[in-house]
Structure 1
Amino acid sequence: MMWLMYLLSYMDRTNIGNAKIAGMDKDLNLDSNKYSIVLVVFFVGYVVFEVPSNMILTRTRPSRYLPGIMFVWGGVTIAMAFTRTYEHMIGFRILMGVLESGFAPGVLLLLSSWYKSEEQSKRFAVYISAAILSGAFGGLLAGSITSGLDGAHGKAGWRWLFVVEGAATMGVAVIAYFVLPDFPSNTSRLKFSQAEIDLAIQRLQHNRPQVHTEDEAKLGHWKAFKLSMTNWRTWLFVVGYMAIVGSSTLSYFYPTLVKGLGYESTTAQYMTIPIFGVAFVVTALTGYFADKKSQWRGVILCAWMSIAMLCAIIICVVYNFKARYALLVIMAAALWASNGLSLSYASTTFGSMPNETRAISLAFVNAMGNLAQIYGAYLFPASEKPKYLKGFGVISGLCFTGAVSYVLLHVFLKGKKRA
């Protein structure tokens, strides 16, 4: 259920690009600058409200909170279909960012509350795979909706895209309300038996020291926030994850980059599918292997970031179409695999923190990572085509920074365990 929720979350976030291609830019008189603003304002609310949202989540029930915000953002997505002005679209995108800000960090917290540290990498890989498959097939689905419903009831196809995907989001949110579990300490006895709940708590108590019961004393918001912000682990994970997400904005430009390799527009769309397909397989294998060798997560991350860095450097000096495409495939796989693994690595490292402090730390890492998408959106301007040396040069630097961050985490954490 969480996988499907994240898939729809990602599609609702990124369908603005499909709507633009289907004629939204003409209907709303959006030039390239206005469209960039429409994209970026989403992350204003998203970044600002992630930490407060997770602070709320620790004091409520995920089965109510997460489907609740999902239902509302589905309604906002439908409302975007009736937008008549650029200013209204800006408002809806900001509101969408505020509402979606609570979902990703909330799911991270919920997943890490049910699974042991050596079980989390596989689950986080499955979670991230929703975004990968959305990239592979979301455009094809959007194309079918916008072309098939264009003109129906006098509405443009891009408006129907928002209606259909928003309605699907609201429908899944209703189902999630009855299916999604809460934390082990407060989940409904209708979803799990008391014996199953006790077993879940015992498993985690054996695995890490901080497992919580429903009647335990809670830290104040400010104390939990202070504990998170003064922990060096939080900041090293922020640096590493910002490097990954900043580099991963490359995925927004796959069609543009593939077209720049010499393919026609239609062919370029289809040529992006193998990129996501390979990334899907590599991410799954990485998650499986990382759980088998959980003590080496930092080294695995360093290796993938180093591979992505080398690909970016080689792309800067090699201009053969097929070679560049192959390097894009490898680099995408390395970055997507790093994304899921970095989140599970952070989650297991924060496992010894008090519950609300852990929630804040996870949300802060995710928020700062998404902040990197703002500057990442400007890495591949049209003026740089077809080589895009600036973009790949910056990505190589980001990957180097990420590799150093994760190898330092591995060394410091391993040294602390020995001490």
Structure 2
Amino acid sequence: MGNDELHTLENNPRPTDHEALLAGPSKKGAWQKFAAFVWDKDYYDKSDAERSLVHKLDCSILTCLAFGYLMKYIDQTNLSNAYVSGMRADLHIKGNEYTYMTVIYNAVYCAMQIPSNLLALKIRPSYMLAACEIGWMTFTFAQAGAKTVNQMYVFRFFIALFESPFQVATIHLMGSWYTKNELAKRISVWFVAGTAGQAFSGFLQAAIFKNMDGLAGLAGWRWLYIICGIMTLPGGIAILMVLPDYPENTKVWFLTEADKQLAKARCAMAGTVASTGIINLSTFKRIFSRWHIWVLGPTYIVYAWSVQSYSYFNTYLLLEGYTVTLRNILPSVAFIIGIPVSMFWGYLSDRTGSRLGLTLGPQLWGLVPTGILCFFPANKAVRLFAFMVDETYFVTHIYFTWVNEICKADAEERAFLIAACNTLFYAFNAWLPTVVFLQTDGPRWKKGFPTLFGANIISCCCMVAIYFLYERQKKQLAAQGEVEPEVEEINHSSTLEEKE
């Protein structure tokens, strides 16, 4: 028997043990029915112990990771907000130097995605992410003191280095705890925290520019970085104290031994396999022998590029002559519009169980705003509308939920593929903007917006291809007498006795 099989036996009890652990007293009343309607559709059938466990996970995982993601996107948006709020003049930024700041960030972020996510299988995520938060905070402060463009290049390098593990480690960690009926909504909560960060950054910069510009001799955009650095510290402390790592190795203080065993049983019943801890040549041979990497990775490239118009909204407003306040407020309003829509997509995806419908549907709607910008009508109000609804066809949260489910049976592949999707996108994003979105080509960007429209069309086709490939995979497993873990939801009604 190999190490993989031994690890599986040690961390996954027998099926009868899973059912016994999931069974237990279950209060059933009006509240439970209401919660099942508005949140997890299987909430009514869960035992009290399982409800308590999920509540603990929500309070710890979602709180820590959502706040961290909010701060990550505040930082990412800060660069563009600072650029249009005085940084360009103060640092004497010329030509495409601002674009190069973005390119440096993307290149480093891209290079570190896979190594950092595989490292998170070896080092407890709570330790690694907390350390990264502190490094991230340090260089956020450093940006406030930048005197030259070259200094900003260096600071953006280190910001990317410390931010790189956060997104991919979060998606993998959440997929290690939550079940099919729960995951999309939770990733949606985490995802819209990033959107909220983008929105908050604009309002924060507008308020700072109005009330603090010149305070203590510092420009408003410098105060933005100082305040954000201060805000980052509590997040790092919280991650260190309450993030529960993985079900098979968590030592967090608020989970009892019974909670830990229940968590393992939930994962086993959902088909989510724990990491073997083995990463070697055979691991990569296994990963690259499957269709997943060859389809899911490229699909994410074209999808992620199809929604990139928001990255150029601030600059569009600057070049079209909008005021500093509107340059900060309008993108923030666009992000706010996207928050309830993204949450709704996540809710529907868990409620219906359809990952295809809730990735393809929003992407089809996205053809409208990307098409408007592609053909760039003379009416400025129509163009503004296209930018304002950009966030409504984001399905990143649903897509990564789907990736988690497709790769449930192999933790190493799941970690690698989540990171690989991001890596491939950032690999393209490190150079493609310098070709199709040069600052000197704005605000029309005759190469950039058609590229987004074309990516949107290809993305729709790719979502359909993933669906058929995954269905074929499940049929092949069924023909071989194997059970596809993703298909079989945890059937609480068959393992729990109704307790009045």
- Measure how far apart 1:6 and its partner are: 0.5
Gaps of at least 5 residues in structure 1 are none
Alignment-derived partner of residue 421 in structure 2: 365
Separation in 1, partners of 2:370, 2:72: 29
- Report the AA paired with residue 239 of structure 1: P
Residue-pair matches, total: 411
Q: 2:448 aligns with which of 377, 388, 391?
A: 391
Separation in 1, partners of 2:194, 2:84: 20
Superposed, 1:67-216 pairs within 5 Å as 67-208=130-271, 210-212=273-275
Separation in 2, partners of 1:259, 1:146: 16
- Measure how far apart 1:109 and its partner are: 1.0
Q: Deviations over 1:64-86 (max 9, x none)?
A: 11111111111111122222232
| SS of residue matched to 1:197 | helix
Alignment-derived partner of residue 244 in structure 1: 303
Q: 1:220 aligns with which of 267, 273, 279?
A: 279
Separation in 1, partners of 2:90, 2:443: 30
- Report the AA paired with residue 130 of structure 2: P
Deviates more, 1:185-194 or 1:98-107: 185-194
The 1:34/1:259 distance shift into structure 2, 3 A limit, reads closer
Q: Deviations over 1:273-312 (max 9, x none)?
A: 4422331111111101111222x31243122222212442
C-alpha contact (below 8 Å) 2:122/2:277 kept by paired residues: no
- Report the AA paired with residue 254 of structure 1: F
Separation in 2, partners of 1:14, 1:221: 38
The 1:377/1:8 distance shift into structure 2, 3 A limit, reads farther
Tell whether 2:125 aligns with 1:62: yes
The 1:268/1:11 distance shift into structure 2, 3 A limit, reads closer
TM norm structure 1: 0.90
Deviates more, 1:72-81 or 1:143-152: 143-152
Deviates more, 1:189-198 or 1:259-268: 259-268
Q: Deviations over 1:340-365 (max 9, x none)?
A: 21111111111111x22221111111
Alignment-derived partner of residue 417 in structure 1: 474
* Matched-pair identity in %: 25
The 1:415/1:356 distance shift into structure 2, 3 A limit, reads closer
Q: Deviations over 1:293-345 (max 9, x none)?
A: 22x312431222222124423451644344444444444311x2x12211111
Separation in 1, partners of 2:368, 2:126: 43
Q: Deviations over 1:204-223 (max 9, x none)?
A: 100115235xxxx5323433
Deviates more, 1:253-262 or 1:6-15: 253-262
| SS of residue matched to 1:204 | helix
C-alpha contact (below 8 Å) 2:376/2:383 kept by paired residues: no
TM norm structure 2: 0.76
Gaps of at least 5 residues in structure 2 are 1-63, 477-500
Separation in 2, partners of 1:383, 1:22: 19
Separation in 1, partners of 2:177, 2:100: 39
Q: Deviations over 1:9-37 (max 9, x none)?
A: 11123312222233322332221322211
Tell whether 2:423 aligns with 1:402: no
Separation in 1, partners of 2:282, 2:455: 32
Separation in 2, partners of 1:333, 1:209: 30
C-alpha contact (below 8 Å) 2:72/2:197 kept by paired residues: no
- Measure how far apart 1:252 and its partner are: 1.8
Separation in 2, partners of 1:44, 1:267: 30
Q: Deviations over 1:125-145 (max 9, x none)?
A: 111102211222211102323
Superposed, 1:310-389 pairs within 5 Å as 310-315=368-373, 316=375, 318-334=377-393, 336=394, 338-353=395-410, 355-374=411-430, 375-376=432-433, 379-381=436-438, 387-389=444-446
| SS of residue matched to 2:123 | coil
Would you tell me which structure has more helix in proportion to its own residues? 1
| SS of residue matched to 1:272 | helix
- Measure how far apart 1:165 and its partner are: 0.8
Alignment-derived partner of residue 4 in structure 1: 67
* Higher Cα Rg, which structure: 2
| SS of residue matched to 2:408 | helix
- Report the AA paired with residue 425 of structure 2: G
C-alpha contact (below 8 Å) 2:96/2:439 kept by paired residues: no
C-alpha contact (below 8 Å) 2:206/2:325 kept by paired residues: no
